[in-house]
Amino acid sequence: MKEKLKAIVDEALVKIQASEELDKLNDIRVAFLGKKGELTEILKSMKDVAPADRPVIGQLVNEARAALEEKLDEKKNYFAKKLREEQIQKETIDVTLPAKKPMVGHRHPNSIALDEVERIFVGMGYEVVEGPEVEYDYYNFEALNIPANHPAKDEQDTFYITGDILLRTQTSPVQVREMEKGKLPIRILAPGKVYRSDEVDATHSPNFHQIEGLVIDKNITFADLKGTLAEFAKQLFGENTKVKFRPHHFPFTEPSAEVDVSCFKCGGKGCRFCKGSGWIEILGCGMVHPKVLKMSGIDPEEYSGFAFGVGLERIALLKYEIDDMRLLYENDVRFLKQF
Ligand SMILES: [Zn+2]
């Protein structure tokens, strides 16, 4: 009986040692310690053992059971530990791997240029104001000294919503709305979208942006206009930038001028950028027409003022040396992320 017991235990130990997974271990437990297991069978056969030997055999069986259980637990713990280690290995994050960067938006060259222009004029005490893009004919044309039969209305080829409502062709109506408020003096910058029924090409778009400025106060002269725009040009294009005023005509200003800045690429000597002239045209301006002042309820005998308008795209194209305006609207990320 003793030998048989030893043989059973040895066999079990070998099997436990050789088992490679938790399931096999359970099979071994059932095979040896289960209800029909080999050790249990021995206990059942105790009736064949001489009564005097029974306690000894009983103790041996119990010892064998205890030994097997200990080994089984040991092996079970070993498997559990191994499993945990494998899991930890699997779930480990390698923090040295380069992370995937999320796509972050990028400021548009137009926005960068607008911020720059606003910064310059706010620094000179201007207030930034906005107005409606869908505008009355009155504010867009009539109040700016462009009556119904004026050729400028044809020139600008407007998008009409109804007979007297349209998409504004300029940001000047914001000036009229500001003047009508009757609060003087005025010193405003009005940036915004404007619309004209132009075909899309390298220098035209049916939708673009203007930035207009308006100053109205007592004793404002053309010298104030020149000084302001000369300072603006210096801050935008560099300390050595010069300005040149060429006589021009706008219905809402008198006198009117177009302003060129000395080429910031060649300093005025002439290069490909300025087409050899040394000058680059950037904006239109003038002294506010007395008729415009009067229509908005301001006495031209007491007050005077100047206005100027610059294309935002023009500034962005010049500043970043972009040669095709369409690039600003295509929203190609490969293009935009260069700025
Ligand atoms: Zn040049």
CATH assignment of the domain containing 310 = 3.30.930.10
Question: What dihedral angle (degrees, nearest 10) is formed by the CA atoms of 101, 105, 110, 114?
Answer: -110
Confidence class of residue 300 from pLDDT cuts 50, 70 and 90?
very high
- Check whether residue 122 and residue 198 sit in a common domain: yes
- Check whether residue 149 and residue 259 sit in a common domain: yes
How many Å lie between the centroid of ligand 1 and the Cα of residue 2? Answer: 111
How many folded domains does the chain comprise? 2
Q: 98 in a domain, yes or no?
A: no
- Check whether residue 86 and residue 131 sit in a common domain: no
Q: 293 in a domain, yes or no?
A: yes
H or E stretch covering 210: strand 207-217
- Check whether residue 9 and residue 124 sit in a common domain: no
How many Å lie between the centroid of ligand 1 and the Cα of residue 262? Answer: 8
How many Å lie between the centroid of ligand 1 and the Cα of residue 272? Answer: 6
> Considering only 26-35, 247-256, 324-333, which range has the smallest mean pLDDT?
26-35
How many Å lie between the centroid of ligand 1 and the Cα of residue 280? Answer: 8
How many Å lie between the centroid of ligand 1 and the Cα of residue 326? Answer: 23
How many Å lie between the centroid of ligand 1 and the Cα of residue 265? Answer: 5
Q: 198 in a domain, yes or no?
A: yes
DSSP letter (8 states) at residue 160: B
pLDDT value of residue 155 = 59
Q: 259 in a domain, yes or no?
A: yes
254 labeled part of a ligand binding site? yes
- Angle, helices 54-91 vs 2-18, to 10°: value is 0
Q: Which residues are paired to 207 by β-bridges?
A: 195
- Check whether residue 73 and residue 123 sit in a common domain: no
- Check whether residue 303 and residue 167 sit in a common domain: yes
Asked whether residue 156 carries a pLDDT value surpassing 70, the answer given is no
Nearest by Cα to 138 from 269, 272, 296, 303: 296
Residue 259: domain span: 109-336
H or E stretch covering 32: helix 22-33
Helix (H, G, I), strand (E, B) or coil at 306: strand
- Check whether residue 121 and residue 210 sit in a common domain: yes
Q: 144 in a domain, yes or no?
A: yes
How many Å lie between the centroid of ligand 1 and the Cα of residue 330? Answer: 28
H or E stretch covering 84: helix 54-91
pLDDT value of residue 310 = 95
Return d(Cα 12, Cα 204) in angstroms, integer: 91
Buried b (16+ CB within 10 A) or exposed e, 69-92: eebbeebbeebeeeeeeeeeeeee
> pTM of the predicted model, to two decimals?
0.68
How many Å lie between the centroid of ligand 1 and the Cα of residue 279? Answer: 7
Percent of the chain residues past pLDDT 70, beyond the cut: 99
Reported as a single tens digit per residue, the pLDDT across 205-223 is: 999 999 999 999 999 999 9
**287 contacts 255 by C-beta, under 8 angstroms:** yes
